[in-house]
Amino acid sequence: MVCVNRRDLGLLALRVGTGAVLAAHGSQKLAGWFGGGGIQGTAAAMEAMGFHPPRPSAVAAGLGEAGGGTLLALGLATPAAGAAAAAAMAGAVAVHVPAGFFAAGGGYEYPALLGFTAAAIGLTGPGRYSLDHVTGQVLDRPWMVALSFAGAAVAAATVVGRRTRARAGQAKEES
């Protein structure tokens, strides 16, 4: 009789669900799939939202979502995947903050949920039903958690801070 660990099964469901949603969002940005704008459309949107330079911002957001989401779903390099996806969602949260919390009003509820979920998976680990487990956790070491999340936090703070300063400068020029 095979013993199924409920914790590992729950992590599998959470990883695959969250990872698939993130991968779909990222593929909209990178490839234009699922009604997305592709790199060109996403770069134009990034510029309008105050992210500069717009094309590298579009690529970074798309890779953070699609790459991080795919790796989360697979349970591979889970700390880096969770950190990358969480950092990408920090940028999305920054865009939606002025609208308030709830997604129904354009708020940051949804990207915050995706970001916190990705971070929690990256911190918790992928569980037994994952490629990290199959590979002997070579890409899921404790030091990778610290390094991945520190790097992602610095990157997200830099990008969001640069956007905030640029928007504040634009507001001054307009007044």
> Per-residue confidence of the chain (175 residues) as pLDDT tens digits?
567 789 999 999 999 999 999 999 999 999 999 999 999 999 999 999 999 999 999 999 999 999 999 999 999 999 999 999 999 999 999 999 999 999 999 999 999 999 999 999 999 999 999 999 999 999 999 999 999 999 999 999 999 999 998 888 887 888 7
Residue 54 lies in a domain: yes
For residue 144, the enclosing domain spans 8-174
Confidence (pTM) = 0.92
Residue 44 lies in a domain: yes
Residue 3 lies in a domain: no
55 burial via Cβ count (<10 Å: 0-12, 13-18, 19+): middle
The Cα–Cα gap between 39 and 34 comes to 13
CB 52 within 8 A of CB 28: no
Residue 30 lies in a domain: yes
Residue 63 lies in a domain: yes
The one-letter amino acid code at 132 reads D
Residue 2 lies in a domain: no
Residue 2 has a pLDDT of 63
Task: Output the six-digit token pair for 172.
Answer: 């001054």
Residue 48 lies in a domain: yes
Residue 1 lies in a domain: no
Q: How many domains does the chain have?
A: 1
